[in-house]
A and B are shown apart, each in its own frame.
Chain A
């Protein structure tokens, strides 16, 4: 599972960083999403899917 993060769509709500801090962070200046792991281990699938679902702006997608 590969994560795509569109920083142009991101509104910095922080739901991803709150849900899976091992995978997502926020930039200091703009608060937009920073991918710590674009291809996280399968054990994190459920948490990552939850973060993608919770993203309010549709900035996250899975491939």
Chain B
């Protein structure tokens, strides 16, 4: 083993190859799982690049996820506000037991069984998108015609958000996750989204509705501000994540035709293919942060109370100690526990929904358009290197 870098590193964001983790993160990983890292505000904390160490920290309640304790890994207006309190309802940024109260209200709505019950509806939404695509002039942008509308329609129906209003909330959601947004743009997008969903919450209180926000409103356990915060979180999370997986995953399959053929021709492969694409692509570009509440020893190093820890999940998902031949896309690889949905009490609430959407959408797309191909050279596909969630801005395709 070579010596760990003698100077603190900074958070790795530059992906030299569209499907691979930042090269720096992989090089550091060879030197150890834990590295000294300088955060954007000068704080000296840690970067985790190893799979086992990432799992350990994410599952350890001696590490907090509270906004006001966490230092920002990269300069980003969302982390630079003077007032960095956790907003009501933003349970992603809470520790137990506060977090537990929200999670308990929501987990029953996102069970494996409930998500499977949505399959017929997701199949219909998918085939409607494919019909529209088939009737369009080529080339089409796969993001706008397929990857974004499917999860967007699904999350809107599930939450009870009118899809007709999508132009506004899709724009706000994109601005919130753009690392290049100014503080003003960020604040405006968040205020817009909160005002819109606050209005919707008030309507749900007035007129009972048979959807998730309607049932939470009727349940009466959350006040208007809390319910609005939950709605913001679920709407944003339901959009950017699966949409980017569908578009980037399709790009990766188009560049790996043998893997594409397996997903298209063998229905039994869909499940492992989804897990492998989640692992291989790891769209969580700028990952979670945790802060030690007390001194914790990890990997022979001492993480002191108050020190923040950032994670390179793309590197952790390519850790050779955890995965054989981690740099190879193998859609038949047994699902083995990547960290793309996180780990610990904050592990993605919507992961079973995302799985069902991807398991239906990838094979449906590839079967409808067996001749699907890129309409531009691969190096001209614009990558989302500046976004919290990685992916492609556009994917021009033809068939």
Binding site for B on A (CB under 8 A): 11-15, 17-18, 21, 25-32, 50, 53-54, 56-58
Q: Do B337 and A31 have beta carbons less than 8 Å apart?
A: no
Q: Do A31 and B343 have beta carbons less than 8 Å apart?
A: no
Q: Across the interface, which residues of A come within 8 angstroms of B344, CB to CB?
A: 56-57
Q: Across the interface, which residues of A come within 8 angstroms of B109, CB to CB?
A: 31
Check A17/B111 contact, CB under 8 A, given A54-B337, A57-B344, A57-B345.
Answer: yes
Q: Do A18 and B108 have beta carbons less than 8 Å apart?
A: no
A21 to B100, CA, bound (A): 25
A31 to B109, CA, bound (A): 7
Q: Across the interface, which residues of B come within 8 angstroms of A27, CB to CB?
A: 108
A14 to B111, CA, bound (A): 6
Q: Across the interface, which residues of A come within 8 angstroms of B349, CB to CB?
A: 12-13
- Quick check: is B399 within 8 A (CB to CB) of the other chain? no
- Quick check: is B352 within 8 A (CB to CB) of the other chain? yes
User: By CB atoms of chain B within 10 A, which of A13, A15, A28 has the most?
Assistant: A13
Binding site for A on B (CB under 8 A): 58-59, 100, 103-104, 106-113, 337, 341-345, 347-349, 351-352, 355
A31 to B108, CA, bound (A): 4
User: By CB atoms of chain B within 10 A, which of A31, A54, A58 has the most?
Assistant: A31
A28 to B103, CA, bound (A): 14
Q: Across the interface, which residues of A come within 8 angstroms of B103, CB to CB?
A: 11-12
A21 to B111, CA, bound (A): 12
Q: Across the interface, which residues of B come within 8 angstroms of A58, CB to CB?
A: 59
A50 to B342, CA, bound (A): 17
- Is chain B's interface secondary structure helix, strand, loop, or mixed overall? helix
A30 to B377, CA, bound (A): 48
A14-B351, A21-B112, A26-B108 known; 4 other A-B pairs, CB under 8 Å? A18-B112, A31-B109, A56-B347, A58-B59
A58 to B59, CA, bound (A): 8
- Quick one: which of B58, B112, B345 contacts A11, CB cutoff 8 A? B345
Can you give 23 A-B contacts (C-beta < 8 A)? A11-B100, A11-B103, A11-B107, A11-B347, A12-B103, A12-B111, A13-B341, A13-B348, A13-B351, A14-B112, A15-B347, A17-B112, A18-B112, A18-B352, A18-B355, A26-B112, A28-B111, A31-B107, A31-B111, A53-B337, A56-B58, A56-B343, A56-B347
Q: Across the interface, which residues of B come within 8 angstroms of A12, CB to CB?
A: 103-104, 107-108, 110-111, 349
Q: Which residue of A lies closest to B109 (CB)?
A: A31
A25 to B216, CA, bound (A): 23
A12 to B352, CA, bound (A): 11
Q: Across the interface, which residues of A come within 8 angstroms of B107, CB to CB?
A: 11-13, 26, 30-32
Q: Do A31 and B110 have beta carbons less than 8 Å apart?
A: yes
- Quick one: which of A13, A25, A29, A57 contacts B108, CB cutoff 8 A? A29
- In the complex, how many angstroms separate the beta carbon of B219 from the nearest chain A beta carbon? 11
Q: Which residue of B lies closest to A53 (CB)?
A: B337
Q: Across the interface, which residues of A come within 8 angstroms of B104, CB to CB?
A: 12, 30
Q: Do B59 and A57 have beta carbons less than 8 Å apart?
A: yes
A30 to B347, CA, bound (A): 16
